[in-house]
């Protein structure tokens, strides 16, 4: 998802200022409709962590060890995915000529 956000926010890649928000809306709808019935916490990790924290404060002790310590997957996946998306976006989407021009401008 962050890969698409980078593409839409990059002024070098989008066609106009109105296409970015429209493309973001379509992309978010596709993510929600494509995976929300399988795992609804994929779009918002707080939907998993908040209830687990509440249950822990209510007195149950195995909330974070349940399902083979699954709690860290929704918490760490967006961070790791965001870092990977930024690296892939810079590597795959930005043409080499633009990278060289930015390097020359940045060093003067």
Domains present along the chain, CATH in parentheses: 2-106 (1.20.1080.10)
pLDDT score recorded for residue 102: 60
Question: How far is it, in rounded angstroms, from Cα 5 to Cα 104?
Answer: 26
pLDDT at 24: 81
Q: Tell me the helix, strand and coil percentages in the chain, rounded to 5.
A: 70, 0, 30
Is 80 exceeded by the pLDDT of residue 19? Answer: no
pLDDT of residue 98: 64
The region of weakest confidence among 34-38, 39-43, 95-99, 103-107 is: 103-107
* Span 37-91, pLDDT tens digits: 666 666 777 777 888 889 889 988 888 887 788 778 888 888 888 888 888 888 8
């Amino acid at each position: 998802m962050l890969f698409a956000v980078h593409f839409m926010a990059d002024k070098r890649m989008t066609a106009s200022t109105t296409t970015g928000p429209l493309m973001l809306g379509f992309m978010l709808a596709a993510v929600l409709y494509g995976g929300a019935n399988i795992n609804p916490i994929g779009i918002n990790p707080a939907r998993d962590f908040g209830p687990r924290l509440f249950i822990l404060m209510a007195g149950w002790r195995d909330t974070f060890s349940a399902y083979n310590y699954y709690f860290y997957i929704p918490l760490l996946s967006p961070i790791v995915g965001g870092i990977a998306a930024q690296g892939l976006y810079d590597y795959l989407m930005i043409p080499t000529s633009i990278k060289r021009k930015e390097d020359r401008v940045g060093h003067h």
